[in-house]
């Protein structure tokens, strides 16, 4: 993970991709979102989605999974160079989440994150606040998911 001072508006990270198999879609849905179009192929075909569709919360949770994996990758690279590793803080939330198109069984979604804004926290001077547009794009090149996420990012000289 990078420190606040290492980040610039417009920086983009490709986070990798994830294939939503029918089994994974149904497993998540059975636990958290058992609407029929997320559990049953036939019900999915008859729905607005046109097929067995992943829960939007599954699509968002996988974005988080790939963001964390990318951060761990960057942390390992920094550690290998002998640099201090930044540990990011929690997120106060997000805005403008759009489930633009359904994620159907078998779709492979490639995620990316692009920095939209950076500012210092007023109440916590040892932290900066980053806004990033996180997106998911399917194998056909169509954007299916987008959100504007916020996170606390540590400042380089404020953390041991």
Partner 1 sequence: MTLCFEDFSPGHFGSFGPRRVTREEMLAFAAEFDPQPMHLDEAAAKRSMLKGLSGSGWHLCSIMMRMMFDGYLGRTASLGSPGVNELRWLAPLRPDDELTLDIDVVEARVSRSRPETGIVTFKGVVRNAGGQVLCEMVSPILVQRRAGVTAEQAG
Q: Which residues in this chain contact partner 1 in the complex, by CB under 8 A? A: 28, 31-35, 37, 47-49, 53, 55-57, 60-62, 64-65, 68, 72, 87-99, 124, 127, 147, 152
Cα 20 from Cα 136, distance rounded (Å): 12
Integer Cα distance of 149 and 130 in angstroms: 8
Q: How far is the CB of 71 from partner 1 (least distance, A)?
A: 8
Among residues 58, 52, 20, the alpha carbon closest in space to that of 39 is found at: 52
22 Ramachandran zone, left/alpha/beta (phi>0; psi -120 to 50) = alpha
Nearer CB in complex with partner 1: 54/112:
54
Q: Which is nearer to partner 1, 62 or 109 (CB)?
A: 62
User: Taking the complex as a whole, how short is the minimal distance between the CB of residue 32 and partner 1, in angstroms?
Assistant: 4
In total, the chain counts a number of residues equal to: 160
| 16 versus 89: smaller Cβ distance to partner 1 | 89
């Amino acid at each position: 993970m990078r420190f606040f001072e290492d980040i610039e508006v417009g920086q983009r990270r490709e986070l990798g991709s994830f294939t939503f198999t029918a089994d994974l879609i149904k497993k998540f849905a059975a636990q958290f979102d058992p609407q029929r179009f997320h559990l049953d192929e036939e019900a999915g075909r008859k729905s607005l989605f046109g097929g067995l569709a992943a829960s939007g919360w599954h699509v968002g949770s996988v974005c988080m999974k790939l963001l964390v994996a990318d951060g761990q990758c960057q942390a390992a690279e920094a550690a290998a160079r002998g640099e201090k590793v930044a540990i990011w803080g929690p997120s106060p939330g997000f805005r403008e989440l759009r489930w633009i198109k359904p994620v159907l069984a078998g779709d492979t979604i490639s995620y990316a994150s692009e920095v939209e804004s950076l500012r210092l926290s007023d109440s916590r001077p040892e932290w900066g606040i980053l806004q990033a547009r996180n997106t998911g794009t399917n194998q056909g090149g169509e954007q299916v998911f987008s959100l504007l996420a916020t996170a606390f990012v540590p400042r380089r000289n404020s953390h041991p």
